[in-house]
Structure 1
Amino acid sequence: MAGRWKLLILALYLCLIMGQSDLSKSDCPIGYNDGEKPCIDIDECEVDVDYPDEVGPCGEDTTCHNTIGSYYCRCADGYSSSTGAGTSATCTDINECLKDKDICGLNAKCFNTIPHYSCICDNGFISTTGVESFLHGDNVTCRDIDECQEGDACGQNAACVNTPGSFHCFCNAGFGLQSGRSNFSGSQERCEDICMIDRTICGNGTCHRGASGHSCACHAGFTNYGNKRSRCTALNCDVFKVMNNLQEFPVAHDLMMQLEKSCLNLTESENPTELDGEDTLKRLLSAIDKLLSGGAFNHNRKVSTFLYVVENTLRFISAFIKPPGTTKSSTHTELELLVEKGEDLPKGAVTLSSKQARLDIRLETAAGDPSYYPGFTTVSLLSYANLEDSADGFFGGMKAQANQSFELNSKVVTVSVSNRNTSRLKEPVTLTFYHLKQTDTNNHTCVFWDASEEGGSWSPRGCTVVESKPEYTVCSCNHLSSFAVLMVLYDMEDTFELQLITWVGLSLSLICLFVCILTFSLIRSIKSPRTTIHLHLCICLFIATVIFLAGISRTESRVGCAVVAGLLHFFYLAAFCWMCLEGIQLFRMVVLVFNTNFKTLYMMAGGYGVPAVIVGVSALANAEGYGTKKHCWLNLEFIWGFFGPACVIIVVNIFFFLITVWKLAQKFSSLNPDFDNLQKIKAFTITAVAQLTLLGTMWIFGCFQFEEGTIVMSYLFTIFGSFQGVMIFVMHCLFSKQVREEYGHILSRCCAPWKKSYSNLSYSHTSKAHASKSSQDTGESRI
Structure 2
Amino acid sequence: MPITNLTPNPKHNVNFTSNCGKDLFNQIGNITAQVLPPQDVSTYLSIVLTTQGQLLKVEASNSEALTTYGNTVVNITEKLVSTLVKPTDTTYSVNISLDDLVTQVFAVGPNANVKEIPPLNVNNSQMDIDLIHISENNHGSAAVAFMSYSNMANMLKPSFFNPTNNTVKSMLSTVVSATLPKTPNTQLSTPVNFTLQHITDVVPDSTLSCVYWNNTEWIVDGCELLQSNSSYSVCSCVHLSTFALIMEINPPPGESDPLMELLNTVAVAVGLFFLSLTLLTFAVCRQNLRRNLTPLTNLCLSLFLAHLLFLLTQKFLQYIRANQTWCAVMAGVLHFLFLSAFVWMFIEAVMLFISVKNIMKIRSNQEEVLGWRCLTVIGYVIPLVVVGVSVGLYPDGYGSDQCWIKTDRDFVWSFLGPVCLILTLNFIIFITVIIILRTALSKLSSERSQIKQMRVLVFKILIQIVILGGPWILGFFVDGSNVLAIVFLFLNSQQGTFIFLVHCALNYEVRQQYRKWLKTFCCYFRLQHKTEK
TM-score range, shorter chain: 0.5 to 0.7
Distance 1:544 1:488 in 2: 26
- 2:331 is matched with 565
Equivalences for residues 126-141 of structure 1 within 5 A? none
Tell me which amino acid in the other structure corresponds to 1:226.
K
- Higher relative contact order at CA 8 Å, sep ≥6: structure 1 or structure 2? 2
Equivalences for residues 638-677 of structure 1 within 5 A? 638-677=411-450
Tell me which amino acid in the other structure corresponds to 1:621.
L
Encode CA deviations 1:410-454: one digit per residue, 9 max, x unaligned: 9997899xxx9979x7xx98xxxxxxxxxxxxxxxx676x8xx55
Tell me which amino acid in the other structure corresponds to 2:382.
V
Distance 2:393 2:463 in 1: 35
Distance 1:576 1:691 in 2: 11
Distance 1:317 1:563 in 2: 49
Encode CA deviations 1:565-619: one digit per residue, 9 max, x unaligned: 1011111011111110111111111134462332223312321111111111011
Q: Give, in angstroms, the shift of residue 694 of structure 1.
A: 0.8
Equivalences for residues 520-599 of structure 1 within 5 A? 520-526=282-288, 530-552=292-314, 553=317, 554-593=320-359, 595=365, 596-599=368-371
1:516 and 2:287 equivalent?
Answer: no
Q: Give, in angstroms, the shift of residue 634 of structure 1.
A: 0.8
Q: Which has the higher strand share?
A: 1
Moved more, 489-498 or 663-672: 489-498
Aligned residues: 357
Tell me which amino acid in the other structure corresponds to 2:321.
T
Tell me which amino acid in the other structure corresponds to 2:509.
Q
Tell me which amino acid in the other structure corresponds to 2:433.
T
Tell me which amino acid in the other structure corresponds to 1:521.
A
- 1:614 is matched with 386
- 1:351 is matched with 147
1:681 and 2:431 equivalent?
Answer: no
Distance 2:342 2:432 in 1: 20
- Please give the secondary structure, in 2, of the residue aligned with 1:351: strand
Tell me which amino acid in the other structure corresponds to 2:404.
W
Distance 1:389 1:509 in 2: 36
Distance 1:386 1:337 in 2: 33
Distance 1:582 1:749 in 2: 33
Q: Do the aligned residues in 2 keep the contact of 1:587 with 1:656 (CA within 8 Å)?
A: yes
- 1:315 is matched with 128
Rate the CA distance shift 1:683–1:391 in 2: closer, same or farther, 3 A: closer
Distance 1:547 1:620 in 2: 24
Q: Do the aligned residues in 2 keep the contact of 1:517 with 1:538 (CA within 8 Å)?
A: yes
Encode CA deviations 1:514-562: one digit per residue, 9 max, x unaligned: 1111221233423565322111011000000111011143311111011
Rate the CA distance shift 1:622–1:531 in 2: closer, same or farther, 3 A: same
- 1:604 is matched with 376
Rate the CA distance shift 1:356–1:538 in 2: closer, same or farther, 3 A: farther
Tell me which amino acid in the other structure corresponds to 1:725.
G
- 1:457 is matched with 207
Distance 2:262 2:525 in 1: 44
Q: 732, 735, 740: which is aligned to 2:511?
A: 740
Distance 2:324 2:251 in 1: 24
Moved more, 522-531 or 557-566: 522-531
- 2:185 is matched with none
Distance 1:574 1:481 in 2: 45
Q: Do the aligned residues in 1 keep the contact of 2:208 with 2:247 (CA within 8 Å)?
A: no
Rate the CA distance shift 1:622–1:721 in 2: closer, same or farther, 3 A: same
Q: Do the aligned residues in 2 keep the contact of 1:520 with 1:526 (CA within 8 Å)?
A: no
Q: Which has the higher helix share?
A: 2
Distance 1:561 1:731 in 2: 35
Q: Give, in angstroms, the shift of residue 495 of structure 1.
A: 4.7
- 1:692 is matched with 465
Distance 1:583 1:604 in 2: 15
Q: Do the aligned residues in 1 keep the contact of 2:331 with 2:398 (CA within 8 Å)?
A: yes
Q: Give, in angstroms, the shift of residue 749 of structure 1.
A: 2.8
Rate the CA distance shift 1:577–1:337 in 2: closer, same or farther, 3 A: farther
- Please give the secondary structure, in 2, of the residue aligned with 1:634: coil
- 2:521 is matched with 750
Encode CA deviations 1:67-110: one digit per residue, 9 max, x unaligned: xxxxxxxxxxxxxxxxxxxxxxxxxxxxxxxxxxxxxxxxxxxx
- 1:724 is matched with 495
Rate the CA distance shift 1:484–1:536 in 2: closer, same or farther, 3 A: same
- Please give the secondary structure, in 2, of the residue aligned with 1:523: helix
Tell me which amino acid in the other structure corresponds to 1:505.
A
Distance 1:682 1:559 in 2: 48
Rate the CA distance shift 1:318–1:540 in 2: closer, same or farther, 3 A: farther
Q: Give, in angstroms, the shift of residue 356 of structure 1.
A: 7.7
Distance 2:491 2:165 in 1: 30
Distance 1:607 1:618 in 2: 18
Q: Give, in angstroms, the shift of residue 487 of structure 1.
A: 9.6
- Please give the secondary structure, in 1, of the residue aligned with 2:147: strand
Rate the CA distance shift 1:492–1:689 in 2: closer, same or farther, 3 A: farther
Distance 1:337 1:598 in 2: 74
Q: 623, 627, 632: which is aligned to 2:399?
A: 627
Distance 2:310 2:143 in 1: 52
- Please give the secondary structure, in 1, of the residue aligned with 2:293: helix
Q: Give, in angstroms, the shift of residue 623 of structure 1.
A: 1.5
Tell me which amino acid in the other structure corresponds to 2:328.
A
- Please give the secondary structure, in 2, of the residue aligned with 1:601: helix
Equivalences for residues 246-645 of structure 1 within 5 A? 315=128, 317=130, 338=144, 351-352=147-148, 388-389=161-162, 406-407=168-169, 453-454=204-205, 457-458=207-208, 479=232, 481=234, 483-484=245-246, 495-496=257-258, 498-526=260-288, 530-552=292-314, 553=317, 554-593=320-359, 595=365, 596-628=368-400, 630-636=401-407, 637-645=410-418
Tell me which amino acid in the other structure corresponds to 1:746.
W
Q: Do the aligned residues in 1 keep the contact of 2:147 with 2:177 (CA within 8 Å)?
A: no
Distance 2:256 2:424 in 1: 34
Q: Give, in angstroms, the shift of residue 668 of structure 1.
A: 2.8
- Please give the secondary structure, in 2, of the residue aligned with 1:484: strand
Distance 1:673 1:556 in 2: 65
Distance 1:605 1:337 in 2: 67
Encode CA deviations 1:289-347: one digit per residue, 9 max, x unaligned: xxxxxxxxxxxxxxxxxxxxxx99x7374675559x9xxxxxxxxxx9947xxxxxxxx
Q: Do the aligned residues in 1 keep the contact of 2:302 with 2:340 (CA within 8 Å)?
A: yes
- Please give the secondary structure, in 1, of the residue aligned with 2:478: helix
Q: Give, in angstroms, the shift of residue 729 of structure 1.
A: 0.9
Q: TM-score, normalised by structure 2?
A: 0.56
Task: Return 5+ residue gaps in structure 1 as ranges.
Answer: 1-214, 216-224, 234-310, 326-335, 340-349, 360-382, 394-404, 430-445, 460-470, 758-783
- 1:212 is matched with none
Task: Return 5+ residue gaps in structure 2 as ranges.
Answer: 1-112, 120-124, 179-192, 210-216, 219-229, 236-244, 529-533
Distance 1:644 1:731 in 2: 27
Rg: which structure is higher? 1
Q: Give, in angstroms, the shift of residue 745 of structure 1.
A: 2.2
Encode CA deviations 1:706-749: one digit per residue, 9 max, x unaligned: 3x4x2332122122111111111111111111112222222333
Distance 2:381 2:250 in 1: 42
Q: Do the aligned residues in 2 keep the contact of 1:386 with 1:411 (CA within 8 Å)?
A: no
Rate the CA distance shift 1:583–1:387 in 2: closer, same or farther, 3 A: same
